[in-house]
Amino acid sequence: MDSTQRMKSGINLPVGMAQTSLHLETTFRAISKLTSPSKKTIYSDRFIPCRSSSRLDTFELIDKPSPGKEGGNEAYSRLLKAELFGAEFASVSPGGGQGGSPISPSKNMLRFKAEPSSPASPYSSILGHDSGISSEASTPPKPPRKVPKTPHKVLDAPSLQDDFYLNLVDWSLQNVLAVGLGTCVYLWTASTSKVTKLCDLGPDDSVCSVQWTREGSYLSIGTNLGEVQIWDGTQCKRVRTMGGHQTRTGVLAWSSRILSSGSRDRNILQHDLRVSSDFVSKLVGHRSEVCGLKWSHDDRELASGGNDNQLLVWNQHATQPVLKFTQHTAAVKAITWSPHQNGLLASGGGTADRCIRFWNTTNGNQLKSVDTGSQVCNLVWSKNVNEIVSTHGYSQNQIMVWKYPSMSKVATLTGHTMRVLYLATSPDGQTIVTGAGDETLRFWNIFPSMKAPAPMRDSGLWSLGRTHIR
């Protein structure tokens, strides 16, 4: 058909397309007008759905334009022409030349692919279809360690004094518990529950402190008259008596070679059993009774607390403190060194202070302070895990386990009816014993073993029945 014929027909047809190709549609429209004159109906040659509500991209039915791909629009145009008008028509290039074979549809046609990532369903991890979350992230968090809320054993301890400044309970490496009751010291062997009376100081004296050597063979006893006695725990025999204090000796602390004693006379005496003299040096720095003493695990530093609200740190050879901490506002009895980090010290204050404070003795800085809400009577740092036990007085008389360094509470234990003044740890580090003015000793399994994280099982030794320590 030439240009003159196209102009006569009134239709601008593409090159090579005859007018007769439109005969079917024109005839159909003419028939429709005759059969239904009263209703105007518009027909279309194909149905085009609403793409916005279709998931064509899921099956890759639509190609995403690529800005870096040259000739993208031309290729789409040839493919469209091939589908509408036939392959021979699509082979004609826009410039009028003949091209190659028509472009075939994408090889990804009808190929299913994963949908774009969306917020995870709360049930996806259960059903196992959450492919967007790694296995590590989907692992549930480790549940907190469970600590038994009741003691495994209770011992009656008649005449256990309710005196904040005394230290009357200690547990040896040989698994023997020493308890000062009035004028006597009793030994309780944990493996057999056997109770042995070690000594009786007589009516004119009383026990104010007890402390085992690190090996657990010998026991030091501080008396109300200011003496320090050394006893052989196996033979139940007194080895030595040392003087030097003017009044009661309320606290004792052993290093590997030196025994330190603190007194109401405000002095700290250093005793060396290898020499004949009662003491080898005197440490003067407190202005009131010394009630807390602890050697560091490497024997390089001695920490002392007093009723003057001071916490002092001494080195091995100095007679004057190398550090003075005065932030506490009440007596400092509770002292413990970290077994996990050198130079890390914790201390607790009395009723007017109620705080546990942490110190770096290398640079003299305070690291942290936590208000516990009640009088801090004792502190012990676990050697098995990086956690701390604190015992308290008014108003709850509780025992608290803290995770360091976050100081989040692991457990709170109650049961004593008076302030918990005494605290000691078993040789394996899993059990603590607490004592109070309610004249009871309570054993709590709170720490895991160093090898097995599971809590220690109850055995025949830890029956729930109550027995007497004397």
Question: In tens digits, what is the pLDDT along the chain, a chain of 470 residues?
Answer: 455 554 445 555 556 555 554 444 444 444 344 444 455 555 555 655 665 655 655 555 555 555 544 555 778 888 887 877 776 665 555 544 444 444 444 444 444 444 445 444 444 443 344 444 444 445 677 777 899 999 999 999 999 999 999 999 999 999 999 999 999 999 999 999 999 999 999 999 999 999 999 999 999 999 999 999 999 999 999 999 999 999 999 999 999 999 999 999 999 999 999 999 999 999 999 999 999 999 999 999 999 999 999 999 999 888 899 999 999 999 999 999 999 999 999 999 999 999 999 999 999 999 999 999 999 999 999 999 999 999 999 888 999 999 999 999 999 999 999 999 999 999 999 999 999 999 999 999 999 998 644 444 443 344 445 566 66
Residue 194 to residues 78, 318, 418, 439, 467: CA-CA distances in angstroms? 101, 43, 27, 19, 11
Report how far residue 418's alpha carbon sits from residue 405's, in angstroms, rounded to the nearest whole number: 29
Rounded to the nearest integer, the mean pLDDT of the chain is: 81
**121 vs 123: CA distance, rounded Å:** 5
| Segment 286-316, tens digit of pLDDT | 999 999 999 999 999 999 999 999 999 999 8
Q: Is the peptide bond before 448 cis (omega within 30 degrees of 0)?
A: no
The pLDDT, as a whole number, for residue 90 is 56
Q: What phi and psi values does residue 190 have, to the nearest 5 degrees?
A: -70, -35
Give the rounded percent of residues in the chain with a pLDDT score beyond 90: 63
CA contacts within 13 A on the Cβ side of 441: 31
Query: 460 with 453: CB under 8 angstroms?
Result: no
Predicted confidence at residue 19, as pLDDT, reads: 54
Q: Which residues of 93-130 are buried (b: 16+ CB within 10 A; e: fewer)?
A: eeeeeeeeebeeeeeeeeeeeeeeeeeeeeeeeeeeeb
Instruction: Say if residues 373 and 359 touch (Cβ distance below 8 Å).
Output: no
DSSP-based three-state secondary structure for 26: helix
pLDDT of residue 185: 98
Looking from the CA of 85 toward its CB, the CA atoms found within 13 Å total 18
Note whether 358 and 345 are within 8 A (CB).
yes
Distance CA 181, CA 159 (A): 5
pLDDT of residue 89: 60
- Spatial distance between the Cα atoms of 465 and 462, rounded to a whole number of angstroms: 8
Contacts of 251 (CB under 8 A, 6+ apart): 165, 167, 209, 222, 261, 262, 290, 291, 292, 293, 333
